[in-house]
Amino acid sequence: MKIVKIVIMGLAMVVSIAVIGVTANTMGADKFALDGGGKGEIDFPHKLHQETLGDCKACHDVFPKELGVIKKMKTQKTLKRKQVMNDTCIACHKAYKAEGKKFGPIRCNECHKR
């Protein structure tokens, strides 16, 4: 009986470690650079947004969880140029500002490097 218990406990541990591993992976990188065309790239704090917003939908209802996908969708014309910038990023930052909450950048050079 004892051995069965130990085996079960061992299996449970392996399973939970695997689950933790998968969860950590699917969160994506903490920060990365986004392509901003002629205005230069944007340093994007991904983890800060995940923690501040508490869910993924504000962005990932618009584009999937994949690095480089915004650029890819613009090439395929499933997203217009500056669409994510205006309708997702800046729209939310402005809404938070209007509500008197802590908000993100609204001016060009606060996001873009050029």
Task: Please give the annotated binding residues for heme c, written as ranges.
Answer: 46, 49, 56, 59-60, 89, 92-93, 108, 111-112
Q: Which of 9, 12, 18, 37 binds ligand HEC (CB under 6 A)?
A: 37
Residue 94 sits in the site that holds ligand HEC (CB under 6 A): no
Give the tokens for residue 39.
């205005």
Cβ(44)–Cβ(50) under 8 Å? no
Closest CB to ligand HEC among residues 18, 54: 54
Closest CB to ligand HEC among residues 2, 76: 76
Residue 33 sits in the site that holds ligand HEC (CB under 6 A): no
Give the tokens for residue 29.
């990188």
Cβ(102)–Cβ(72) under 8 Å? no
Cβ(44)–Cβ(52) under 8 Å? no
